[in-house]
A and B are shown apart, each in its own frame.
Chain A
Amino acid sequence: MNYIETFKVTTPSDLEIVLTRMFDAPKKMVWRTLAEPALIRRWLLGPPGWEMTLCDNDFQEGGRFRWEWIGPDQAQLALFGEYQEITPFDRIVRTESFEIGCEPQAGQQLAAISFEESDGKTTLKMTLTYPSKEARDATIASGMDKGVSAGYARLDEVLAEIATEQIA
């Protein structure tokens, strides 16, 4: 079954990215794919050509996680943080920080993941909250030229303006 149309990425505020996606499975099952390292490793691969090399995941409140990937030319990427809230099958809140190469990236984002089931299907909603608009835009633009990403942010604002105009 194709759930591609159900996938939305939005930026409801300057500090957030929200991803929503429906899965054709009950939430207990979707939950497992985000909780169990053996299952996380199967899907969280990063960009094409990258491979997950470490998946430490102490899945409990206060538990820490560290995931590492290796990319083309031995490029390294790591995401680590701490689980702040785990409400079984409903909600996960964790802090997240990136390391690119061996360089820690400034700042830390908060990821809140909620699971909602209806008719055996689960809507996953991931809200990422960044410390600044710059940090958020940098994440969206990862892989893109920096000057270009600043411009895109501007374009985004204009489109929001136009959209508001059209509704009015």
Chain B
Amino acid sequence: MTATANLDATFAALADPTRRAILARLAHGEATVMELAKPFAMSQPAISKHLRVLENAGLITRGREAQRRPCRIEAKALQQADDWLENYRRLWDANFRRMDGLLEEMKAEEKGLQR
């Protein structure tokens, strides 16, 4: 998948309030389909469908154990929130680092004058 296609899948998955609630639940720790279905008053197949969308988007992974197949949130998905600000942050970071350098020069100059 290209980066953009990947993002499209992620954003489509996040557009649904049930799926967002599932992610919020999984932020507390892994859970089985049954555990996830309980608070939503939804059938297990309906929840399973949502889980597949989340899994395809890379937002969750599921355990291999045939019976339980617990769901876990993918930490990487969380990190993407930072990415959204990251470009912008990087731009200012470069500016501020140049300011650091400039301030060091100014301090050195001031010291020189005092001598």
Name the residue of chain B whose CB is nearest to the CB of A149: B84
Min CB gap B76→A, angstroms: 12
Q: Which of A135-168 contact B (CB under 8 A)?
A: 139-145, 147-156, 158-159, 161-162, 165-166
B15 interface residue per 8 A CB criterion:
yes
Interface of B is mostly: helix
Name the residue of chain B whose CB is nearest to the CB of A143: B87
Name B103's contact: one of A9, A29, A141, A158 (CB within 8 Å): A29
Interface size on B, residues (CB 8 A): 38
A91 interface residue per 8 A CB criterion:
no
Q: Does the CB pair B100–A24 fall under 8 Å?
A: yes
- Per-residue CB proximity of B57-78 to A under 8 Å, as 1/0? 0000000000000000000001
Q: How large is the interface on A (under 10, 10 to 19, 20 to 34, 35 or more residues)?
A: 35 or more
Task: Name the B residues within 8 Å of A139 (CB-CB).
Answer: 88
Told that A45-B95, A151-B14, A162-B27 touch, could you supply 15 new A-B pairs with CB distance under 8 A?
A: A23-B100, A24-B100, A25-B103, A39-B102, A45-B94, A142-B87, A143-B87, A148-B4, A152-B83, A155-B11, A155-B14, A156-B84, A159-B81, A165-B27, A166-B27
